[in-house]
Amino acid sequence: MNTLADGTAEHAHTTAWIASVLRSRIAAGELTPGSKLSEEPLSAALGVSRNTLRQAFSTLAGESIVTRIPNRGVFVASPGVEEVREIYRVRRMIEPAAVLWGDVTPKVLDNLEAIVQQAQQARDSGSVPDMADANQSLHRAVVALTGSTSLQGLMDRVLAEMRLVFHSMSSAPDFHSHYVDRNVTLVKQLRAGKREEAAAGLRAYLDSAEAELLAHLGDEQDRQSELRQRAV
């Protein structure tokens, strides 16, 4: 029995698990951009060493989900323009392909329809967080059509970053509302077997969302720059 190898594998598994837990909390909106991830309370809460926690931080830093600031610590990231562009490069490659070639069963369609119904209810009640949750759930379910655990893991990382991007849209509460109907249309097209139409519509959807986010981030950067100039 190779004790050293077993110990290394167990350590790697623990590090991956911690990264997954923190990623999930960020994707769920429990950890917001700018939040400091303090080592001592987190290591105690998760029951792991601070060294193992630091390695999980390194994993998340490589995914642009957290940021290390020298002499200050580790913070949940605030994605900018380049991060948004990279997010949508990935999404355009995998989501339309999942719609075209994924395994769309009656059970899957029922699940997708239940999600868009939740989104419609959230929009009708004016709940932006619930609309964001439903949107995340739908696009996670779309990638799950592939049946690939690797692609689903990649999408989980992308959705964690997307949640951080959504926080930048807090000043635009209607951002999610006009995508609800597009999600409804996507599911209807899948139900009708119109996969090519669904994939084309999803690509257009992603293009529109990216353009809107980039415009908003650009406006926000201009506003912050103007405020800094006034302060000089």
Alpha helices for 63-148 (secondary structure H) = 81-101, 106-125, 128-144
**Structure confidence at residue 2 (pLDDT):** 41
Identical fold, 3-76 and 81-228 = no
Residues 6+ apart with CB under 8 A from 131: 119, 122, 123, 176, 177, 180
**Structure confidence at residue 173 (pLDDT):** 61
- H/E segment holding residue 66: strand 66-69
Q: Are 207 and 158 in contact (CB under 8 A)?
A: no
**Structure confidence at residue 219 (pLDDT):** 61
* Dist. CA 180–CA 201, nearest whole Å: 13
Q: Are 83 and 182 in contact (CB under 8 A)?
A: no
Residues 6+ apart with CB under 8 A from 41: none
CATH superfamily of 81-228: GntR ligand-binding domain-like (1.20.120.530)
Class of domain 3-76: mainly alpha
**Structure confidence at residue 4 (pLDDT):** 30
The per-residue pLDDT string of the chain (232 residues; one tens digit each, 9 = 90 and over) reads 443 334 444 455 788 899 989 988 887 778 888 889 999 999 999 899 999 999 999 999 988 889 999 889 999 988 888 999 999 999 999 999 999 999 999 999 999 999 999 999 999 998 888 898 899 999 999 999 999 999 999 998 898 888 888 776 666 667 888 899 999 999 999 999 999 999 999 999 999 999 999 998 876 554 544 444 555 4
Task: Name the residue ranges covered by the structural domains of the chain.
Answer: 3-76, 81-228
Q: CA 167: distance to chain centroid?
A: 11
Q: Are 14 and 50 in contact (CB under 8 A)?
A: no
Strand-pair partners of 38: none
Helix (H, G, I), strand (E, B) or coil at 76: strand
pTM of the model: 0.76
**Structure confidence at residue 3 (pLDDT):** 38
**Structure confidence at residue 8 (pLDDT):** 44
Radius of gyration from C-alpha coordinates of the chain? 20
* Dist. CA 117–CA 113, nearest whole Å: 6
